Every structure is written in structure tokens, then in C-alpha cells.
Amino acid sequence: MVRTRSDDKRREIIREHQKCRAVISSSKVDTLAMTAAFYPLSYGDVWPTGLPRNDFILRDEPLLPVDMQARLTRLRDMLQGRRLVLFMPTFRNAQESAYYRYSDSEIAWLGDWLRRHNAVLGLREHMADSARTYSEQFASLNPLDLSDRQFPDAELLYREASLLVTDYSSCFIDFMLTGRPAISFAYDFDSYVRLERGLFYDLEFAFPGPVCQTFAAFQTALESIFEPVGEVQQAVLAYKRALFFDHVDDHNAERVVARVKRLADLEDIGARLTIGA
């Protein structure tokens, strides 16, 4: 039997996963996804405690760490009372050649839309992206630099954003906790799903807002994105959020600590029983 590079990579991943004692998840549905992603760990090794990072989205501001409160103040100073449109694209293997190329007329339209809605674009390109293609393309819009160098915690950006624009990034899941609108500009949907990275979830089913595969569809979505939603749409959004979050509170870290303590207690009891035997 010939061993391929793919086989070697798979074995390397399995060895890394075997070093994990447990993995945390945010819901029962997410537990299934993490079980598949962290093979050979089992379903029982995934704890649906909620993710501690999400505590920073929902926690009352005075209870946030002092450094986070300072960064929130700095962000608000940058916004100057404007709505924040947070743009968070996912990473592409080909980087510069894979990102969407906005035409001059499209950039001009976006600038007009921002002005009409008293909004500013906040740009947070992926930390592994070295091309910074969108920073270059959107320069005329004077976007805010919301990179991880400026704001290490994306959760603070979610707290302030009036709208999230992404493509396939899983940031949309955490953003659902805010209850605010999101748009997916999935301009290369077919090639991304088939050739790039694929998706954990069906995007049309899971995404809490419009999924746009053309700029024209993106324009249409933007024009109505701040309009009030009806009861049916509210129910749909609540259903989607429930798929990803068993807990909508700021006690995720507490639950993780409790599980770790319980695990330590069980292992201590096991060690005593082994010694006694």
C-alpha cells in the first residue's frame, strides 16, 4: 500500500487531536460539528458549555476588563456617532487573485450608500491575509482600521457594529448573539464550496441574512438591511440562533471552569481507586 502526503497529513492531524482532553462547543448542533472536526475524539469529549469569548459580547460593559472598556471607548471615538458596517472576509488560499475586485462604479455606489445611512466601513481582513487587497480597494472610502493589531478582540467590534458583511467566515455565528443584521457577499460560492475550503453548514440555511452571489444582489440587500423585520423573520432568526447557541448569556467561562473542575475531581477519585486497588 502506497502512503501519500494526504495520508501523512491526516495522521498528523489525528496525533494533534489526540493531545486534546476535551473540546468546547456552543450548542448540541455545534457539538456534532466539533465531533466530526476533531476525530478521533468522541461526542462525549465535546462539552456544550458555550464559548468563553462570547461572554465579551453579552456582558454588561462595566463588568468588562478595564483594557476592553478602553478599546470600546477608542472605537466609539473613531465612529463619531456613525453606524459601523463591519467587513470581515474570510481567508483565501490564493489571496489577492481570489478576492472580489470592485469596479470604480461599485466603490462609488458603496460610498454613496454609506453617506446616506450615516455609516462608516470598518475593515478587518483575516489575520493570515498578507495581500490586504480590500484595504487598497476601499482606500477612497476612508475605512476604519479594525485589524487584530488595533483591536485584538473581535467581540468588541460585534458589540458596536450595526451590520456585519462577510462571505463565508464563521464570524457570522458569534455575531448572531447581537441580534443585528448580517449579509453574506458570496461572489464565488460554487468555487469556494467545491475547490477552496468547503462549508461546515449549508450557508443558505444557516446564515441569518441575505446570501448574495452578485454585486447587484448585494446592493439590493444593503438598501433594505436597516428596515424593521417582521414577526416571521424574527422567528426565523431566533430559530437559527438556537441552532448555534444553547446558552445566550455571559456565563460560558464559568461553565468551562466547572467542567474542568469536575474532570479533575473525577480523575482524582480514579487515581485514589487505582492506588487502593
Claim to verify: residue 83 and residue 214 sit in the same structural domain: yes
The structural domain count of the chain equals 2
The predicted pLDDT at position 271 comes to 47
pTM above 0.85, yes or no: yes
Among 72-76, 81-85, 180-184, 204-208, the range scoring the smallest mean pLDDT is 204-208
35 & 137 share domain: no
Question: Which conformational region is residue 39 in: left (phi greater than 0), alpha (psi within -120 to 50 degrees), or beta?
Answer: beta
One domain for residues 80 and 155: yes
pLDDT attached to residue 132: 73
Query: What share of the chain in percent tops pLDDT 70?
Result: 86
Q: Partners of 184 in the beta sheet?
A: 166, 211
d(CA 275, CA 195): 54
**Four-residue CA torsion sign, 232, 170, 132, 192:** negative
CATH of the domain at 217: 3.40.50.12580
pLDDT in tens, 17-62: 989 989 999 999 999 999 998 999 999 999 999 999 999 999 999 9
Residue 272: per-residue pLDDT: 44
Same domain as 166, residue 258: no
Same domain membership, residue 79 and residue 169: yes
Contact 96, 126 (CB under 8 A): no
Q: 38 with 59, same domain?
A: no
Higher pLDDT, residue 197 or 75:
75
Whether 15 and 130 share a structural domain: no
Q: Which of these ranges, 52-66, 70-84, 118-132, 235-249, has the smallest mean pLDDT?
A: 118-132
* Residue 132 shares a structural domain with residue 220: yes
Across 132-138, average pLDDT: 86
For residue 227, the enclosing domain spans 54-244
Q: What is the pLDDT of residue 90?
A: 85
Are residue 113 and residue 26 in the same domain, yes or no? no
Question: What strands lie across the sheet with 119-123, from one edge to the other?
Answer: 144-145, 119-123, 83-87, 161-166, 182-185, 211-212
Residue with the three cell numbers 489571496: 95
* 3-class SS letters over 50-86: CCHHHHHHHCCHHHCCHHHHHHHHHHHHHHCCCEEEE
> Which distant-in-sequence residues (6+ apart) come within 8 Å of 18 by Cβ?
40
Q: How far is CA 234 from CA 85, 179, 206, 229, in A?
A: 21, 9, 14, 7
